[in-house]
Amino acid sequence: MFFELSDEHKEIKESIHRLAQEKIKPRAIEIDEMGEYPMDIKDLLAEYGYLGANIPEEYGGSGLDLLSFCIIVEEIARVCASSSQVAVVQELGSLPIMLGGSDDLKRRYLPDIASGKKIAAYALTEPNAGSDVQSLETTAVRDGDEYILNGQKMFISNGGVANVYTVFAKTDKGMTTFVVDADTPGFHVGKLEKKMGIKGSPTAQLYFDNCRVPAENIVGEEGNGWILAMKTFDKSRPTVGAQALGIAQGALDVCLQYVLEREQFGKPLSSFQAVQFMIADMATQIEAARCLVYRAASKVNELSSTGKNPELIKASSMAKMYASDVAMKVTTDAVQLLGGYGYVQEYSVERMMRDAKITQIYEGTNQIQRMIIAKNVLGGVRS
């Protein structure tokens, strides 16, 4: 490993690796086949303190830094991307509260999110506001001590199983973030999407029909939602990069075992130069992605308190973009390398290939990441 981890980070990596290999890996195929949120995995991660790993200790979490959390996500995704999504979306749903919420809001919600008593979700995307986030149409109108929300969200991870949603809507002062409890009158979950991959992570449409939310459930200040969404992405994109990294590493793990054991023409596959070159490329790309992800997570730890930072934004986008592209390429090559066996469920690489695709799309498509990177690179040259 080219990125040198501290002893503490190495210990976390070894611990979550054992748990993932022993407890989560045996469930991976079943989770994919059943297509249901794995409550047992959520409870397992909560029991070991991994579910609330990023939440400060004063609010019931483990208080770990982002690099630690990325390592946790990587090792879970290495065996089951759907299970890693349990931790990823719990983090995503809670990040706006951690970044902009009042102490009262944090104390009301974060302990239950950290313990797994409540499942969190992040509701930003709409039918007409995907990459163009500022075009969202959900509205929030002040009415005394409440806001009345009306609108629709879609592609919301944890939709239908979450107890708490961080919801972005437009007010007179601009985009604003609210915490909405799932049992709030006027809040409804629409259809669940049938997806290519991460089938154990439900994705749903949400509807708000005169949904009344207490004014005390605003995250930060009214009109501050855009800034809060972007700060959230700065922290969540390295996490998605870690998820993609884990998927790629898991596919390589399968390939290494296969080419060492499988024989053709009287020789192990690992003895053929064409196979060796594929393995070399996969391993190199994965290591490069790991360095970018770990570097971005470390920069978040160092720079997140300094306000908007172009270097942090660039590092986060690079990590997410490159790692997800690597995950797609490595898993596709893994299926090819295993031939017919790669196309059936037994060896898991077909599942990993399906799971990898979404990492190029959510948390901002890779086309959007390239725009962000170019803007910051060119801006640095001009200045």
On the question of pLDDT at 306 being above 80, the answer is no
Pairwise CA distance, residues 357 & 354, whole Å: 6
pLDDT for res 379: 83
Question: What does the pLDDT average to over 188-197?
Answer: 97
Global confidence as pTM: 0.95
Domain count, the chain: 3
CATH number at residue 208: 2.40.110.10
Beta bridge partners of 207: 152, 188
- Digit-coded pLDDT (tens) for 50-86: 998 999 999 999 999 999 999 999 999 999 999 999 9
User: Is 4 a catalytic site residue?
Assistant: no
Tell which of 66, 82, 115 closes a domain: 115
Q: Looking at the structure, do residues 337 and 255 belong to the same domain, yes or no?
A: yes
Q: Which structural domain range is residue 46 located in?
A: 7-115
What percentage of residues in the chain have a pLDDT greater than 90?
A: 91
Question: What does the pLDDT average to over 307-326?
Answer: 91
Q: What is the mean pLDDT of the chain?
A: 95
Task: Give, in order, the Cα–Cα distances in Å from 137 to each of 25, 31, 127, 208.
Answer: 41, 35, 9, 12
**Residue 302 binned pLDDT confidence (cut-offs 50, 70, 90):** confident
CATH number at residue 355: 1.20.140.10
Q: Looking at the structure, do residues 283 and 378 belong to the same domain, yes or no?
A: yes
Q: Looking at the structure, do residues 85 and 177 belong to the same domain, yes or no?
A: no
Q: Looking at the structure, do residues 334 and 271 belong to the same domain, yes or no?
A: yes
Does residue 360 form part of some domain? Answer: yes
Q: Which of 377, 371, 375, 245 is nearest to 320 (CA)?
A: 245
Does residue 308 form part of some domain? Answer: yes
Question: What does the pLDDT average to over 206-221?
Answer: 97
Beta bridge partners of 203: 157
Q: Which of 358, 375, 279, 250 is nearest to 318 (CA)?
A: 375
Q: Looking at the structure, do residues 184 and 200 belong to the same domain, yes or no?
A: yes
pLDDT for res 22: 98
Pairwise CA distance, residues 378 & 368, whole Å: 15
Q: Looking at the structure, do residues 203 and 303 belong to the same domain, yes or no?
A: no
Tell which of 185, 217, 249 closes a domain: 217
- Digit-coded pLDDT (tens) for 254-286: 999 999 999 999 999 999 999 999 999 999 999
Q: Looking at the structure, do residues 81 and 148 belong to the same domain, yes or no?
A: no
On the question of pLDDT at 20 being above 60, the answer is yes
Which of these is catalytic: 74, 75, 126, 363? Answer: 363
Question: What does the pLDDT average to over 314-329?
Answer: 97
Q: Looking at the structure, do residues 111 and 60 belong to the same domain, yes or no?
A: yes
DSSP string, 142-172: EETTEEEEEEEEEEEETTTT-SEEEEEEEET
Pairwise CA distance, residues 296 & 3, whole Å: 12
Pairwise CA distance, residues 1 & 260, whole Å: 22
Pair type for strands 174-181 and 164-171 = antiparallel
pLDDT for res 346: 87
DSSP string, 201-266: S-EEEEEEEEEEEEGGGB-SSTT-HHHHHHHHHHHHHHHHHHHHHHHHHHHHHHHHHHHHH-EETT
Contact of 326 with 282, CB cutoff 8 Å: no
